[in-house]
Amino acid sequence: MPGAAAPSSPAAAASPDGARGEGACGDASIITRLVDGRRICIRTVTTHDEERLRNGIARMSPRSRYLRFFSGATTPPDWVIERLLDADGVLHLAWGAIDIDHPEQPAMGVVHAIRPDAGERVAEFSIGVVDEYHGLGLGRMLAATLLLDTRDDGLDALSAHVLYENTAAMAFIRQLGAEKVARDGTTLEYRLDIAEAVTRLREKREPSGLADVFAYFDRLEAGASKP
């Protein structure tokens, strides 16, 4: 996600301060609902999201932070925050979900794909969801958003590193078709074929918000194909 390259989709070109549309969402965002009915928006991450990102990480439980960042620290170091925010839409794709029914419109979760250069066909995948939004289908919607955004970026697969004790994360990515390819001590590496994962998610009926994610990218694709 570093650099100053052009964004990979119209969503990445949304107002950087998120001031338009649904509050912090901007015009070019995906508006949908979780399984409990609350409204959310999913949009690209920008450097203006630092406070929202830091607050979201602080609201995660110590266990969730450990499983996500492989560290028991209360907050990640500044260089990690900078890296998470440095999304250019080419080397680093990043999408976040915002609770637009909450007065403060807090961050709910973020998903990333990072690669060292544009020629790489495999990117590092990571996802984190604040505890209070677990079990509501948000992880699946964020994963679908990221996977669909990779279609025009020359990527074939995503690589995910997971702690061996993070059984929920392993079950999640295996449902998308990921296969274990390596182990380094307590960390397992999974490889996820993007085309297969997109096919699996398109076949899912739940959460219903998945349909909104696919409809958003289908409209973008249809618009791009017009003369």
**Burial class, 1, CB count within 10 angstroms (exposed 0-12 / middle 13-18 / buried 19+):** buried
What is d(CA 23, CA 100) in angstroms, rounded to the nearest whole number?
7
pLDDT above 80 (res 26): no
The residue with greater pLDDT, 16 or 177, is: 177
Q: Average pLDDT in the 189-194 region?
A: 97
- The CATH number of whichever domain residue 29 belongs to comes to 3.40.630.30
Bond preceding residue 7 cis, omega within 30 of 0: no
Give how far the C-alpha of residue 48 lies from the chain's centroid of Cα atoms, to the nearest Å. 17
pLDDT above 80 (res 109): yes
The answer to whether position 61 is within a domain reads yes
Burial code (b: 16+ CB inside 10 Å, e: under 16) for 103-124 equals eebbbbbbbbbbbeeeeeeebb
Q: Which domain holds residue 201?
A: 10-222
The answer for residues whose C-beta is within 8 angstroms of residue 77's C-beta and 6 or more apart is: none
Q: How many structural domains comprise the chain? A: 1
**Other residues' Cβ atoms within 10 Å of the Cβ of residue 135:** 12
Res. 204 pLDDT band, cuts 50 70 90: confident
The answer to whether position 227 is within a domain reads no
pLDDT digits (tens, 9 = 90+) for 43-81: 999 999 999 999 999 999 999 999 999 987 888 899 999
The answer to whether position 2 is within a domain reads no
pLDDT above 50 (res 12): no
pLDDT above 60 (res 185): yes
The answer to whether position 108 is within a domain reads yes
The residue with greater pLDDT, 18 or 136, is: 136
The answer to whether position 5 is within a domain reads no
What is the per-residue pLDDT for 23?
Answer: 65
Amino acid at 88: D
pLDDT above 50 (res 5): no
Query: Which residues does residue 114 pair with via DSSP β-bridges, in sequence order?
Result: 92, 124
The token pair that represents 183 in the structure block: 């182990």
In this prediction the pTM is: 0.86
What is the per-residue pLDDT for 221?
Answer: 86
What is the per-residue pLDDT for 66?
Answer: 93
What is the per-residue pLDDT for 205?
Answer: 78
Burial code (b: 16+ CB inside 10 Å, e: under 16) for 185-206 equals eeebbbbbbbeebbeebeebee
| Alpha-helical regions (H) of 37-107 | 50-59, 62-69, 78-85
What is d(CA 208, CA 32) in angstroms, rounded to the nearest whole number?
9
Average pLDDT of the chain to the nearest whole number:
87
